[in-house]
Chains A and B, each alone.
Chain A
Amino acid sequence: MMAKGIRDKVVIIGMGCSQFGERWDCSAEDLLAESFREAIADAGIDRDQIEACWFGLSMDEQNLGKSGLSASQSLRLPNIPVTRVENLCATGSEALRGAVYAVASGAVDIAMAIGVEKLKDTGYGGLPERSKGTFNELWQPSATAPGSFAQFASAYSARHNVEMDQLKEAMAHISWKSHENGAKNPKAHLKRRLSKDAILKAPMVAYPLGLFDCCGVSDGSACAIVASPEAARRLGHEGELVAIKASQIAVSNGMEMSHDSWDGSYAHTTRIAVDRAYREAGISDPVAELDMVEVHDCFSITELVTMEDLGLSKPGEGWRDVLAGKFDADGSVACNIDGGLKCFGHPIGASGLRMVYESYQQLLGRAGDRQLPDPKTALTHNLGGFPNFNVCSITVLGHLQG
């Protein structure tokens, strides 16, 4: 019998999300406790009912060290299996995928995914400096995240014949929109509205990305507790349940890095992962069927090319759609309604789960000032690494059917 995918086999019964920001007041252990306590209270369970845990933590060097021990110890978990996962910016989504697969396999009824990152102990802005591996250090540029994602902009501009000034306008719209959304979110790190003019005039970080084209750097944690639909009902979860409709990861195999068949203006892995995810979730017309997307806006240009890679804009037209407001809070597909990485920053192990947290709240109608009118289907997306060398995760969420 052919595998049928993950759709409607697993539901989320509780979620938590810490306050994101420069959390000088607390360590990673405290951030884990903050999101975990909200999640088990939301699920209405005792921690001893959790049977397995997947723990997302990317930068162990600046953080809690290797393995799942730190999560088990911080949360005093009942000696259950805790698997630490790391897959660049998709780390949090990777943790969710582990927990979801465990439940779907029937091995356990209740599993947990939790992610955390404490970035602000490095002593400097941006992501921590780290090794790319002994061989890669010998030849790859000492690139930063903004510099590598900036490559999208020059390649996109050349591929689609869009003047850099026009592209910068669209990029500024993206950052402006995210700040408008983030200003309504009490858990966001950056809650200030910004004018497009201020965004365009910001100092250059990595051409053509200015300071406000870049997401913040924050500490944070997020947590999801997942269960089979039967276990959820047994635990007394009545009414609408949020189900996982698809969970996909696509990883580069070197083609973008070394082969001529990629032009640099899009993320190859996003197109692969989302194609699989739409099939798994049964989505044929994403613009009509998706009510919201939470995408990996590490940089404004990444969000722009992602709109095309997800099939929400035609290739080369994303910048026009952005400027026309298609992805604004009141647009046809709201993008990063919670403020995105732009306003939450990017504690790597937590980001994917933070996106799922917003989707979950929106689908349950609990998103307060940001609540979208009656959303039914949401998509989350992470893109980790460099445009030519990356990991993409896609998760689709919606109300449980059947």
Chain B
Amino acid sequence: MPGTGIVSIAGYLPRSRMSRKAIADAVKWANPALAGLGKGHRTACTPDEDSITMAVEAGRSCLAASGGAIPEILQFASTTAPFADRSNAILASEALNLPSALRCADFGGFLGAGIGAVIDALDRSGTSLTVAADRRAALPGSALEMSVGHGAAAVLTGSNNPIAICLATHVNAEDFVDHYRAAGSETDYALEERWVRDEGQMKIVPPAIAAILDKAGIAAAQIDHVLLAGTSAAAGRQIAKACGFSEVRLADALDGQCGNTGAPHPLLMLANTLEQAKPGAKILVASFAQGTQIMLLETSEAISGWRPHETVRSQLASGSEEENYVRFLSHSDQLTIDWGMRAERDNRTALSAFNRHRKTVTGFIGGKCSACGTKQFPRGPACVNPQCREFSTLEDEPFKDKIGRIKSFTEDWLAISANPPLMYGNVAFDDGGVILMEFTDFAPGELKVGLPVRFVFRIKDKDPKRNFRRYFWKAAPARNAEKR
């Protein structure tokens, strides 16, 4: 649609960064050729993160930077969605506290799903939020284990003051099988890189780029930023040459400290570019996945006033290094640790109870007393203030965007956790209320009374018996929160 574009955008990278050298060292006995890839880091989820939790984080960050936009459509794109039949988009919409008058759609099936969903959104009117995330597993000792990363991106599209206008889109479909993952399989089967480059990428991508430039009436030399996702760095340079782009215009594919995140990757690269772009920049985003998915954008004056919430660059610079390959495998569900008899506990979810408490659990919505003003979580039939205790006075109070402070804590080595020690404690919200909750993204020794925390949507428990997982909120470091 003319006039539509990108209103806001954000990326999300899990805090844990696996050292590729540690992977190479661990698997060199089996595959010494991987030593050459043993540089830099790749992002990796901890066991309480999945495509939904990462998508929710990216979505929150994108909406926070949008100046309060409320989307009419929510699209979720992933090749690793936790649920095959239970809309991941609808679940994410409740974690994002979006109104239920919302059209939700799930996209998947191939790595072009994220950018494909954004192209769909740009082709129609209205405000849409697209969240894309992938948590791809790779076989231990494979090249893919080095090159993939976990991450998410969110893009808000519409015509209300976009920071980048869509000039053209172009999609073509070619069943070129550079890799595939069969239904029910956990990992990819990948073909030889040289064949993929010469017979696939070089034959498919340059003509598609020529076609979109022609459609928009723009010459290759006018493009300021060229973003190529789904191709190797070497293939990217060859494509740039074939299309007439100067190599310096090629955007960072985030290979060094993140890896290829899959469905969100073109959008993550775009977030990184837009977060640094000036008005009037022409940006070409091309994804290679069973054909190509391409967007041509131009930044508007509005980008000067746009303030990203947490940039991809700052997330790349933070993070916490993981050097323990065994833990990495365990976190990827590729190694089974003996967690002992305590772990045999049945984690069945009473879904009728969950349904009654959905707003509390998924939305992190507590109560505020209309009689005394006390904020509290969770809300019960009566106010918790000892001086009040009125019945039926509690109104909805969202807690997810508050800042809290640690009141007390422990690092519990006895409690069952896939990422021990289980850390939890009492947290006081800055504007009132207290909760006993789990901490996440803290390393042992980092917890201290008084530290500020923010709240993130994470996996609370898994029920392997019924293949279910439930989510709740956890307290994570709020490194930018002001000192009290």
**For window 425-460 of chain B, which residues contact chain A by CB distance below 8 Å?**
425-426, 428, 432-438, 444, 447, 449-450, 460
Given the interface pairs A124-B340, A124-B342, A129-B342, the reply to whether A151 lies near B409 with Cβ below 8 Å is yes
Given the interface pairs A138-B354, A138-B472, A142-B417, the reply to whether A206 lies near B345 with Cβ below 8 Å is no
- Asked whether any CB of chain B lies closer than 8 Å to the CB of A263, the reply is yes
Given the interface pairs A135-B353, A146-B414, A150-B412, the reply to whether A122 lies near B341 with Cβ below 8 Å is yes
- Shortest CB-to-CB span from B154 to chain A, Å, is 25
- Asked whether any CB of chain B lies closer than 8 Å to the CB of A157, the reply is yes
Would A264 and B384 count as touching, CB distance under 8 A? no
Given the interface pairs A146-B412, A155-B408, the reply to whether A259 lies near B340 with Cβ below 8 Å is no
- Asked whether any CB of chain A lies closer than 8 Å to the CB of B371, the reply is no
- Asked whether any CB of chain B lies closer than 8 Å to the CB of A158, the reply is yes
Residues of B contacting A150 in the complex (Cβ-Cβ under 8 angstroms)? 410, 412
CA distance A204 to B463 in the complex (A): 28
* Binary contact track A120-147/B, C-beta < 8 Å → 1, others 0: 0011101001000011011111111011
Which range holds the interface residue count of chain B?
Answer: 35 or more
Q: Choose one: A206, A255, A386; the contact of B386 (CB below 8 Å).
A: A255
Q: Choose one: B350, B353, B378, B412; the contact of A147 (CB below 8 Å).
A: B412
CA distance A218 to B422 in the complex (A): 25
- Asked whether any CB of chain A lies closer than 8 Å to the CB of B424, the reply is yes
Q: Choose one: B407, B417, B421; the contact of A207 (CB below 8 Å).
A: B421
Residues of B contacting A389 in the complex (Cβ-Cβ under 8 angstroms)? 436
Residues of A contacting B444 in the complex (Cβ-Cβ under 8 angstroms)? 207
Would B412 and A139 count as touching, CB distance under 8 A? no
- Closest residue of A by beta carbon distance from B411: A207
- Shortest CB-to-CB span from B418 to chain A, Å, is 11
- Closest residue of B by beta carbon distance from A125: B414
Residues of A contacting B421 in the complex (Cβ-Cβ under 8 angstroms)? 206-207
Residues of B contacting A134 in the complex (Cβ-Cβ under 8 angstroms)? 350, 353
**For window 257-277 of chain A, which residues contact chain B by CB distance below 8 Å?**
257-264
Would B413 and A254 count as touching, CB distance under 8 A? no
Would A139 and B407 count as touching, CB distance under 8 A? no
Given the interface pairs A147-B410, A147-B412, A258-B435, the reply to whether A138 lies near B342 with Cβ below 8 Å is no
User: For chains A and B in complex, what number of residue pairs have CB atoms within 8 angstroms?
Assistant: 150
Would B354 and A141 count as touching, CB distance under 8 A? no
Would A255 and B408 count as touching, CB distance under 8 A? no
- Asked whether any CB of chain B lies closer than 8 Å to the CB of A319, the reply is no
Residues of A contacting B349 in the complex (Cβ-Cβ under 8 angstroms)? 137-138
- Asked whether any CB of chain B lies closer than 8 Å to the CB of A154, the reply is yes
Given the interface pairs A144-B414, A146-B412, A151-B409, the reply to whether A158 lies near B449 with Cβ below 8 Å is yes
Residues of B contacting A235 in the complex (Cβ-Cβ under 8 angstroms)? none
Would A206 and B461 count as touching, CB distance under 8 A? no
Q: Choose one: A123, A143, A258; the contact of B384 (CB below 8 Å).
A: A258
Residues of A contacting B341 in the complex (Cβ-Cβ under 8 angstroms)? 122-124
Given the interface pairs A135-B357, A139-B378, A151-B408, the reply to whether A388 lies near B436 with Cβ below 8 Å is yes
* Binary contact track B324-352/A, C-beta < 8 Å → 1, others 0: 00000000000000001110110101100
Interface centre among B354, B356, B360, B378 (most CB of A within 10 A): B378
Would B414 and A258 count as touching, CB distance under 8 A? no
Given the interface pairs A154-B409, A254-B380, A264-B426, the reply to whether A126 lies near B414 with Cβ below 8 Å is yes
- Asked whether any CB of chain A lies closer than 8 Å to the CB of B374, the reply is yes
**For window 347-385 of chain B, which residues contact chain A by CB distance below 8 Å?**
347, 349-350, 353-354, 356-357, 360-361, 374, 376-378, 380, 384-385
Which range holds the interface residue count of chain A?
Answer: 35 or more
Would A258 and B460 count as touching, CB distance under 8 A? no
Would B434 and A260 count as touching, CB distance under 8 A? yes
Would A138 and B361 count as touching, CB distance under 8 A? yes
**For window 101-140 of chain B, which residues contact chain A by CB distance below 8 Å?**
none
- Shortest CB-to-CB span from B160 to chain A, Å, is 36
- Asked whether any CB of chain B lies closer than 8 Å to the CB of A205, the reply is yes
Residues of A contacting B345 in the complex (Cβ-Cβ under 8 angstroms)? 129
- Closest residue of A by beta carbon distance from B340: A124
Residues of A contacting B434 in the complex (Cβ-Cβ under 8 angstroms)? 257-260, 262, 388
- Closest residue of B by beta carbon distance from A157: B449
Would B414 and A254 count as touching, CB distance under 8 A? no
CA distance A134 to B409 in the complex (A): 24
Residues of B contacting A261 in the complex (Cβ-Cβ under 8 angstroms)? 386
- Asked whether any CB of chain A lies closer than 8 Å to the CB of B478, the reply is no
- Shortest CB-to-CB span from B300 to chain A, Å, is 43
- Closest residue of A by beta carbon distance from B343: A129
Residues of B contacting A205 in the complex (Cβ-Cβ under 8 angstroms)? 412-414
- Asked whether any CB of chain B lies closer than 8 Å to the CB of A20, the reply is no
- Closest residue of A by beta carbon distance from B416: A142
- Asked whether any CB of chain B lies closer than 8 Å to the CB of A36, the reply is no
Q: Choose one: B353, B377, B435; the contact of A138 (CB below 8 Å).
A: B353
CA distance A381 to B415 in the complex (A): 26
Would B416 and A388 count as touching, CB distance under 8 A? no
Would A143 and B342 count as touching, CB distance under 8 A? no
CA distance A264 to B384 in the complex (A): 16
- Closest residue of A by beta carbon distance from B425: A151
CA distance A148 to B426 in the complex (A): 10
Given contacts A205-B413, A206-B421, A263-B407, 4 further A-B contacts (CB under 8 A): A143-B412, A147-B424, A254-B384, A260-B432
Residues of B within 8 A of A (CB): 340-342, 344-345, 347, 349-350, 353-354, 356-357, 360-361, 374, 376-378, 380, 384-386, 407-417, 421-422, 424-426, 428, 432-438, 444, 447, 449-450, 460-461, 470, 472
